[in-house]
Structure 1
């Protein structure tokens, strides 16, 4: 059965004319005549049974329907171009994996390790885009995603297959200067920091995460510490923002240790306490239940090995 899709040439002429608001500029970009551009767009309008452009003194403008159509097809044309370039660059070997990743995890954990994946699988190219919300894989935006969420969210995400990566356990961290300012005589209990007493922890200013306003109260309750003002302090949306604020001595923050390993190793940040808060959220690699890509399988196996190595590195610092 013939697909109900206009010709690719009509799409290209429309996209170029819509981008420039000019048939003339479209003809120059596509190396065809202006009349050819006009003919292709006319055929497209006849196919759709609606007008996409209106003529003005300065050229053409999109109609409301044209604006909507332009926004709708643009990402698909870009995707088609990228897929073509990917096939050409890989010569039919390997391939490209498009991953959606939560922002802080991408910049602080995944990207610094990707060179090892590239060394192992040079034939596979990884494209990363940040994503903080669940999506439908049938939209073809990503092949897979690394998502931080609750088990309930995963259970209610239709049409996916999940691979557990790690729990998002948070630890209290701050700058060593902040501790030195409040407690000059404090001594480190291990390589990464201190185990401050309850009364000391209560004296340090707090940094809050906007999306998890009760996180400090939960941590203090877990440690059986009565804190007078667990909701006070500057608020920041991302863990990466909290890490920067904490490293500048602005307060103590609760952040997953695996996202700040570099700062802990360098001493830019230190643990104020070893006590973790096991959050309800975990990191998962998710992909369509209909997808059984070899590329995804290789990436999952590599990710799980990296997670095991990261956990072992953290634990060795306390030995």
Structure 2
């Protein structure tokens, strides 16, 4: 439900208020806004009357903002900045819309980025701005319209669409693979680990009817560096199949003994529930659903 009209002041009132708080005087605010000091003072008074709250103390013909006004001005500054950026984006792209998408770094570079040109060709009016986030965040604070999430459909106050399940492939540099013919033999090799998948090797060994070894290898915070370490012989990597494909095809990594196993999570597109019908998001959601259909069968 929309708030009462008196709690949605006009931008002219808010700009005058924010400028006085930020610059420290009506004179400076007037210069910035190309108004007279009297006009700025009247705009501030009108805002106070509309809200029913005193925002300033009058001290020797100066307006001194209250603590509450300073906190309010920070929120108003963010809102005005958001309006400004939305207007710039509209002017730059009047035929479509903009989607701000948070991605997991390696997923974004290895899976999503190669596919995006096809989406953009199908939707020439849509612009996608991309940022990297490793963990769930507050959509309202971060300013993203959607995100790629790994795990379960547990992102709070968000809509979810599963892209595909994670399938894990054990692989290593070809030289390291030589002579390894059974899953149990991996226990004697360095097992590279990822911070976000702390139980992945336990799962892999359990799926092969084995107890996981206590000894492990290096710990990484991203797949990209883990993959490079595996390529150069630092140990065995347990990689999502979509990340291992290119390296295996090019001979830089080889599958090592054992079957692929289903991981403990899936990849999801998530979005704030209030933005579910944002046109660029609807377009991306529909395209991803079609693109991932074969991966879920």
The TM-score by the shorter chain falls in which range? 0.7 to 0.9
2:269 is the counterpart of 1:285? yes
Query: Helix, strand or coil for the counterpart of 1:167?
Result: strand
8 Å CA contact 1:54, 1:63 repeated in 2: no
Question: TM-score, structure 1 length as denominator?
Answer: 0.70
Query: Helix, strand or coil for the counterpart of 2:161?
Result: strand
Shift in Å, 1:149:
2.2
Shift in Å, 1:218:
1.3
Output the CA distance in 1 between the equivalents of 2:253 and 2:148. Answer: 26
Output the CA distance in 2 between the equivalents of 1:266 and 1:27. Answer: 65
8 Å CA contact 2:13, 2:46 repeated in 1: yes
Output the CA distance in 1 between the equivalents of 2:57 and 2:185. Answer: 68
Shift in Å, 1:25:
6.1
Gaps of 5+ in 1: 188-194, 313-319
8 Å CA contact 1:211, 1:237 repeated in 2: yes
8 Å CA contact 2:97, 2:279 repeated in 1: no
Question: TM-score, structure 2 length as denominator?
Answer: 0.74
Output the CA distance in 2 between the equivalents of 1:255 and 1:17. Answer: 55
Aligned ranges for residues 3-82 of structure 1 at < 5 Å?
3-16=6-19, 29-32=32-35, 37=40, 40-41=43-44, 43-44=46-47, 47=51, 49-51=53-55, 64-82=67-85
8 Å CA contact 1:219, 1:277 repeated in 2: yes
2:214 maps to 229
1:317 maps to none
Output the CA distance in 2 between the equivalents of 1:206 and 1:77. Answer: 51
Q: CA RMSD in A?
A: 4.0
Gaps of 5+ in 2: none
2:238 is the counterpart of 1:246? no
Shift in Å, 1:165:
1.2
8 Å CA contact 2:182, 2:258 repeated in 1: no
Output the CA distance in 2 between the equivalents of 1:22 and 1:112. Answer: 52
Q: CA, structure 1 residues 169+38, in 2 after alignment: closer, same or farther (shift >3 Å)?
A: farther
Output the CA distance in 2 between the equivalents of 1:144 and 1:204. Answer: 40
Corresponding pairs, count? 288
Post-superposition Cα deviations, 1:128-178, rounded to whole Å, max 9, x if no partner, equal 3444326568x8944443322225x26xx5563x4321002222233x2xx
Query: Helix, strand or coil for the counterpart of 1:202?
Result: helix
